[in-house]
Each structure stands twice: as structure tokens, then as C-alpha cells.
Amino acid sequence: MLPMNDRLISAAKGLATDRTPIWLMRQAGRILPEYRKVRETAKDFKTLVKTPELATEVTIQPVDILGVDAAIIFSDILVIPEAMGLNYEMEENKGPVFPKRITSEADLASLHIAQAEELQYVLDAIRLTKKELQGKVPLIGFAGAPWTIFSYMIEGKGSKTFSQAKKMLYTQPAFSHRLLDMIAQSTIHYLKAQIKAGADIVQIFDSWAGILSPDQYAEFSLKYISKICDALGNDVPKIVFAKGAFFARAEMNTINCDVVGLDWNMGIAESRALLPNKVLQGNLDPCALYGSLDDVRRETKKMLNAFGPHKHIANLGHGLYPDTEVDKVKCYIDTVKEYSATLRR
């Protein structure tokens, strides 16, 4: 059964819609006072992720408060390495840190391919969210791309260069492929279970795509994203968002996904030409939301004119920044809804 507002699913399938659907990466988060209130009741970020009732509450908040056309389950891409046997910690204002890194054969031997039941708390949150949404909007499931997960597991934390992770690709390519394949298999189990639990559409986030060369990206990242997309089949639409991988757009046109997310550095007309088989998602610069309300409206209309009225899902070129004002976010969403409808008349 399709949700009452099925614009996102229809658009992802390339079907015509009465207006452009919109959702935002990191829409459930620190920009909302309501989120911060729930966050204070959880002792830390991981408690919030691992408590289905709390995860459900913050997943649904942006639907009710901002009026987005989809909910995205509140979780983190790093639940996969944790399920594989590598624990992570989320340090306040610093981001993720792994007390132990993967640097040797012995480290690799300590990991296993994660099974869906090891991420039961996410699946429970999906089921509960679907129940609470009552068919209002679709629910997006997600996972990190194997290369991005690999980067954190090797580096042990975020990095500007991820030089340790890249070094591993050059010095130990066979080792790298074994770990990437384990991550890919874990992710297939995880996303299949999300779909079974009720996710209407899934997105693969490749946050660190842009730090690889085109050849390395083809070998160590896109190959595994393609493997995941093939394994998931065609039960629900699939979105691939590879930040910074402007050089891989032509190759992305050939993989088994329905939607390709663009960051703000990717030209819209050029992307249309390189990705004729795909619906495009994006791609307003999150910093555009720091402008005045009139600035936000102008930039939004400019973006919508460039994408045109069909085969487009509105989003940002990356996640919302936590210091963005709620009224600017609402202005972006409302302008997409109102102006995109006029482009279809």
C-alpha cells in the first residue's frame, strides 16, 4: 500500500507528480528545538539511536513541523561497523571515534559479516515509525557506502584527507577488498531487513566519495555500491548519494539505482546529460539557507528552474547544518512546494 503522500516514491520511479517532492538530509536533528528536547532525555547520541521509541519520535518530527514529503529513519551509518564487531563512540561536538582501528590481518579476523538481527533496534524503530506515521508519508531507510564505512574503520575518526584509509588502498589492495566486501555483505543484509521492516525507499550515503581518484573510486567504491544495488533487487526505489564524485556520474548512470543525489558542486544541466536514465536529487547548497528569506526563495526558484518539473526530488547538496534557522528551512520547503507546482501548469 502506497502512503497517502506518495510523491517521493512516484518521482523516484520517474513518474509525473503534481509538484516536486522534498526531503532533507539531516532533517531530524539539532535545528529543531523539539529534537534537542528529546536529545536531552537520552544520555547520549547512541542511546537515542538504540531506543526505538525515541528514534521514532525524532524521525517523525520534521514531517509534522517542517512539512517534508518523507521521513528518514533516525540512525547512523556507523551502526554497521559496530554490528561487525568494531565499536564506535560519538563524542559531543567532535563526531565519531573508534577506540580500536582496523590495521592488520588479526584486526580483520576479529570482524564478522553482520546479520540483520544484530541491528534489531533499527528494524524495531522502522516498524514503530511506520505504525506512527499511519501512511502519511513514505519512510526512507539508509546505510553508508562501503568505502565511507571502510574509511572510518581504518582511520578511527573523521579526517580531512583520510590518508590512512587511502594508504591502505595503495599498499594493501587485497586486504582492502576483503574488508570492503565484508562491509558490502553486511550492508546488503541490513538494507534487505530495513525494506522487510517497512522502508519504502533506501539511500546509500557515500560521504567520502570525493577524496578518491576516478580509477580508485571505480575499483574501491562504485563496484561495491553496484553490488548492493543489484542484491536489493527492485522491490523499492534506491538512491545513491556520493558526495564529491562528480567524475563518476556517467558510470552511475549504468548502476541499478533509480535516483542519483547531487551535491551543490555538480552542475544540473551537465548532470542531466550524464545521467539520462536517472531521477536526480538535490542540490541546493546548505549555506544558501543562511541568506535572507528572499535570498532563499530566489535560490530555490533558480534551482527548480534548472532541474525542471520532472525527474527531480528536491533536497540539499549535503546535510542541514545545525546552526541553520528553522524559518529558513521552512521557507525552502514551502518555496519548493509552491513554485514547483507552477512549473507544471
Q: Which residues pair with 203 in a beta bridge?
A: 142, 239
Query: What count of residues does the chain have?
Result: 345
Nearest CA to 86 out of 58, 114, 63 is that of 114
At 126-169, the pLDDT tens digits run 999 999 999 999 999 999 999 999 999 999 999 999 999 999 99
310 is in an annotated binding site: no
Cα separation, 179 vs 183, in Å, equals 6
In the chain the first and final C-alpha atoms are separated, in Å, by 29
Q: What is the pLDDT of residue 3?
A: 76
Active site residues: 26, 30, 39, 76, 152
DSSP code for 50: H
26 is in an annotated binding site: yes
Cα separation, 16 vs 152, in Å, equals 39
101 is in an annotated binding site: no
The strand order across the sheet containing 279-284 reads 71-72, 139-144, 201-206, 238-242, 259-261, 279-284, 312-316
The residues of the chain scoring below 70 in pLDDT are 1
Beta carbons of 142 and 202 less than 8 angstroms apart: yes
φ, ψ of residue 214 to 5 degrees: the values are -55, -45
71 is in an annotated binding site: no
What is the number of other CB atoms lying within 10 angstroms of the CB of residue 11? 27
Cα separation, 328 vs 141, in Å, equals 26
At 301-331, the pLDDT tens digits run 999 999 999 999 999 999 999 999 999 999 9
Q: What is the pLDDT of residue 9?
A: 98
29 is in an annotated binding site: yes
Q: What is the pLDDT of residue 1?
A: 67
- Residue 37, CB half-sphere, CA atoms under 13 Å: how many? 5
What is the reported pTM? 0.98
DSSP code for 302: H
Q: Which residues pair with 132 in a beta bridge?
A: none
Beta carbons of 68 and 326 less than 8 angstroms apart: no
Cα separation, 246 vs 270, in Å, equals 10
Residues 6+ apart with CB under 8 A from 195: 141, 202, 232, 235, 236
Q: What is the pLDDT of residue 279?
A: 98
Domains within the chain, CATH numbers bracketed? 7-342 (3.20.20.210)
27 is in an annotated binding site: yes
Region of residue 158 (left: phi > 0; alpha: psi -120 to 50; beta: else): beta
